[in-house]
Amino acid sequence: MRPKDISSGKKLFKPICITCHTPGGQGPDLSRHELKYGRSDAALFRTIFDGIPNSGMPGLYESEDTVWQVVAYVRSQLPSKENQAPKQDQNEQVRLGWKQEARYSVMECTPIVAHGVMYIVTLFSRVQALDAATGKVIWTFDPFKDDQFHGLKRGITYWENGDQKRIYYVGGPRLHCLDAKTGKPISTFGSDGSVELAKGYDRQVTYSSYNSPAVIYKNVIILGSSYYSAGEPKMRAGIERKPPPGDIVAYDIDTGKRAWIFHTIPHPGELGYETWPPNAWETAYGANCWGGMTVDEKRGVVFAGTAAPYYDPPRHGKNLFADTVLALNAETGKLVWH
Ligand code: HEC
């Protein structure tokens, strides 16, 4: 703990923390307080960075270095017994094992680890496999090779069966199926290892993508959809854009053939059709699940929450199945309940 860190930490503590952490303030007077939430550096870091749920203590969403400086200052203020990180907690201390530089801090991807390999999606939609212990890059899959932003991605889907290990990943408009060991497309899936999502609907769509990792049940992979913003522009680069309806679509994990579709904007004759204007099934969009789904593997049910619908004029009637929680039979796509 360097004196410089303590004085930098103090500069932050004064304007931000002192309002509460002062005798008679909302928070405890840290110079006379026995810590309830742990004394180790790691515990202090957590408390200060995350805040304390259901209390007045907010999180400090600053860079790692900044938060460590505040930790250093707080520790210097604690009563002497609390001042040192306790010996038995030393092992618990956060030590940075390795670090991958991302050009920006915006990364929505949740890394997953399987058999010692970590899989991530970078800001520019590249998939990387890293040695989870060292951070060394094992392979990179880049469907674009253009250093452009293709939408934020929340991660990939890992699947294995015996010797076969695969990564499913939506990069821009396509669902890719990769060999988890090499990062190479599995050519028997779709067309040379990928399928174009816009082709998976029952009406004409010019593009579709999905920001969340898809879910797998038995031999189908199930996807929602996402587009860039509410109220999509009708034209982009001189081309009329036809956004996807929010339909939930499942593909065969081996062939990439469409297995089933659930129309979140019902077609004529389907349950809920009468809750929309008559032509909505051909033109309205939204009503999409972009936040990810979960599968109840025991019951074979997939759960999806859908977003608001978009059409002109907006939102007459009940608009089933927009803004809805859906439970679908994961094998067939049939509605179980909503
Ligand atoms: C809006 C008021 C508020 C602000 C601002 C605030 N705190 Fe707190 N803090 C609290 C309260 C209230 C608690 C006690 C929560 C409890 O005991 O459940 C607390 C608890 C803590 C604890 C844990 C004490 C323990 O018992 O383990 C630490 C450490 C702490 N604050 C540090 C900070 C630092 C550092 C800052 C500034 C970056 C800060 N706080 C800003 C209200 C605040």
Residues above pLDDT 70, as percent of the chain: 90
Asked if 18 and 74 touch (Cβ cutoff 8 Å), the reply is no
Mutate to test the pocket of ligand 1, among 40, 57, 60 (most ligand atoms within 8 A of CB): 57
Average pLDDT (266-278) is 95
CA atoms within 13 Å, Cβ hemisphere of 20: 9
- Structural domains of the chain in order of their starting residue, each with its CATH number: 3-89 (1.10.760.10), 104-200 (2.40.10.480), 203-338 (2.40.10.480)
Q: Ligand 1 pocket: which residues have CB below 6 Å?
A: 13, 16-17, 19-21, 26-28, 35-37, 44, 47-48, 52, 55-58, 60, 70, 74
Nearest alpha carbon to residue 47 among 106, 112, 94 = 94
pLDDT score of 135 more than 90: no
pLDDT score of 312 more than 90: no
Which residue is closest in CA terms to ligand 1's atom 25? 35
- Tell me, in angstroms, the distance from the centre of ligand 1 to residue 92's CA: 21
**Angstrom distance (rounded) from CA 250 to CA 247:** 10
pTM: 0.64
Phi, psi torsion values for 119, nearest 5 degrees: -115, 130
**Angstrom distance (rounded) from CA 254 to CA 2:** 56
Residues above pLDDT 90, as percent of the chain: 59
Would residue 299 be called left, alpha or beta, if left means φ above 0 and alpha means ψ between -120 and 50 degrees?
A: alpha
**Which range (7-16, 50-59, 134-143, 273-282) has the least confidence?**
50-59
Asked if 121 and 153 touch (Cβ cutoff 8 Å), the reply is yes
pLDDT digits (tens, 9 = 90+) for 209-233: 999 999 999 999 999 998 755 445 5
**Angstrom distance (rounded) from CA 46 to CA 35:** 13
- Pairing of β 127-131 and β 137-141: antiparallel
What is the model's pLDDT at position 45?
87
251 to 36, 196, 256: CA distances (angstroms):
50, 11, 5
What is the model's pLDDT at position 73?
94
- Tell me, in angstroms, the distance from the centre of ligand 1 to residue 21's CA: 7
